Structure 1
Amino acid sequence: MALGLGQIDIEGHRVGMMISGRTLPCFQPYDTRPRAGGYCFYRFLTSMPPAELFFHSMAGRDGLIDTACKTSRSGYLQRSVTKHLEVSSFVILLIVSREPTIFQNDNRIRQPFHKSEELGRNTNIFDDC
């Protein structure tokens, strides 16, 4: 980045103070300067002081954990929706009989096959796999 990183936020807030009133041990207690609150004046190109690098790594870790939690939640949501749709009436079953037809779960005819669409007896539908 060409400019300074700016204010680092963790969970939507400035870097919080510990019980001792400091954000990091290198700052004075109850220091209200921007640098003590997590503001990064420097950039990656010219290197960053240890305190700013530590604040930046705190925010990076927070973002990584947040991404991992959102991924697991969205994966579970997708699995739940898929499982619920399996028993839904929208799932189509192919029942092989004399007259091939696609039925729904409640045995209603969804789509009859015409003779031109019918597969030959020697046709293997898994040849492409």
Structure 2
Amino acid sequence: MPRRRPEAVRAERWRPRRHVVVRRIRGVSARTRAAVRRVEEERVRPGAVADALARFEWAFRQPGRYLNASEVWQPGLEVEDARDDLEKVMLHLPLGARRDLGRLFARIDEEFERRTLPDPRPVRVRAPDGWWWARTRER
């Protein structure tokens, strides 16, 4: 079998789309940012991780011990939805990027758990999604 030319191999590699504004994710390496950008483009939407992290930053800046359930980032978008987006991206990242981003998510999860309360409903009534849906906020 003949060897393929290097140009042909490079032409098949993934390349990010041009002219797409990319918001920077602070606290992770450039390699992780590139992996996140690729997963966002293939699986969700460009900028999904930066948007989700911005929602968490906004929610955690609100005063008070607990997160307020009446305040929402935008109508229909809650912090739990942002955590779902982060989890979707996490599932498709390579191992190194998953570890790097996992450190950032661990801090978010700790703060979210600290600022919410356990859901008093029985386990079988709760949402079957991630643990973050089984937490309640102050009303």
Same fold (TM over 0.5): no
Give the TM-score category using the shorter length: under 0.3
Q: Which has the higher helix share?
A: 2
Query: TM-score if structure 2 supplies the norm length?
Result: 0.23
Query: TM-score if structure 1 supplies the norm length?
Result: 0.25
User: Larger Rg: 1 or 2?
Assistant: 1
